[in-house]
Amino acid sequence: MSVLVGKKAPVFQADAVINGGDFVENFSLEQYIGKKYVLFFFYPLDFTFVCPTEIIAFQDKLAEFEKRNCEVVGCSIDSKFSHWAWLNTELNKGGIKGVKFPLVSDLSKTISVNYDVLAGEYDYTQEGEMSFVGGPVAYRGLFLIDKTGTVRHQLVNDLPLGRSVDEAIRTLDALQHFEEFGEVCPANWSKGKEAMQATQEGVSSYLAKH
């Protein structure tokens, strides 16, 4: 598994569905550089089980990301037409109607490969024929990208394990606190709690209080 933290987020241009139903060609995260943070996450497939719980949870907290100047963007290996159909299916029928943030189509699987979250890989048989080993879908990868386009946090869960949206917000808060105040954020830190200076004295002082 590649570690992308500290590196520029892989660039791409792909089809996407935005605003709950509008098709966009050549969608790219580069449009946010210098303007916004990005929470870019992968999920395995449309019309499945854990995936809609995560996507709806992100939508429910979308205002929290927006007030932190962060764009939420989802991605799977489904086509834009599958995204559109899912976005226009009612919740009580297995859909995600009401979700407004962009869903990117990684039909070629190249975005998943570049972010190293594809749950399998291409190989060749002894006869020289191409095959795929594993599952041709994305793991539940999550990448927090700062305004310079650099990955500052990544998390990759196996397919059965849903993610915590609150933890994603907490991590974004920690990054923004560090950028604003120069203080590092200790274990279990959350917004409003005491942070500390990245010095031995700062650590000693913090531990003495806790």
What is 14-36 written as a DSSP string? EEEEETTTEEEEEE-GGGGTTT-
Task: Give the integer Cα–Cα distance in Å for 121 and 134.
Answer: 7
Measure CA of the first residue to CA of the last residue in the chain; give whole Å. 36
Catalytic residue among 51, 70, 75, 185: 51
185 is catalytic: no
Q: Which of 189, 144, 135, 185 is nearest to 163 (CA)?
A: 144
Q: Which helix (H) or strand (E) holds 143?
A: strand 140-145
The pair of structure tokens assigned to 175 is 């990054």
Amino acid at 183: E
The catalytic residues are 51
